[in-house]
């Protein structure tokens, strides 16, 4: 990933997580209610950009692109799909980061960094790291 892709990744992931949080709270109130058209258009806009970024390799469902605006999905359906996209974004991120360790003069670990491959841009550790 280049710097532009990383910036896009961060923006899209923030949008996915924000939409997921918002629609999850709606789903908790009433999971069978349909999402309104305004919110669905926003979700679809983010999904289009996410599909471009993930490509075929990381896309969660091969036959799903966006929700049909004529057949409004329920809050729980949208929550489920957004959750899958967020997980796939993390898989893409994990494949494109590496760890870097700085040692003290005595040989103990001073600091552990996670960076995007091919850059000096720091990121957080993988979410699926085993402790």
Model pTM score:
0.90
Instruction: Give me the DSSP letters along 25-75.
Output: HHHHH-TTSBPPHHHHHHHHHHHHHHHHHHHHHH-S-TT--S--TTSPPBH
- Over residues 105-114, the pLDDT tens digits come to 999 989 999 9
* Cβ contact 97:126 at 8 Å: yes
Rounded Cα gap, residues 44 and 47, in angstroms: 5
- Over residues 4-57, the pLDDT tens digits come to 999 999 999 999 999 999 999 999 998 899 999 999 999 999 999 999 999 999
Per-residue pLDDT at 131 exceeds 60: no
Rounded Cα gap, residues 129 and 126, in angstroms: 5
Three-state SS at 81: helix
């Amino acid at each position: 990933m280049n710097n532009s892709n990383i910036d896009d990744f961060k923006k899209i992931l923030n949008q996915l997580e924000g939409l997921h949080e918002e629609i999850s709270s709606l789903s908790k109130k009433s999971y069978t209610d349909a999402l309104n058209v305004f919110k669905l258009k926003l979700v679809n806009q983010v999904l289009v950009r996410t599909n471009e970024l993930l490509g075929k390799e990381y896309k969660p469902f091969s036959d799903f692109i966006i929700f049909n605006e004529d057949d409004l999905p329920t809050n729980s359906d949208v929550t489920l799909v957004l959750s899958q996209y967020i997980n796939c974004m993390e898989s893409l991120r994990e494949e494109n980061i590496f760890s870097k360790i700085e040692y003290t003069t005595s040989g103990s670990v001073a600091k552990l960094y996670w960076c995007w491959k091919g850059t000096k841009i720091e990121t957080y550790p993988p979410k699926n790291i085993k402790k």
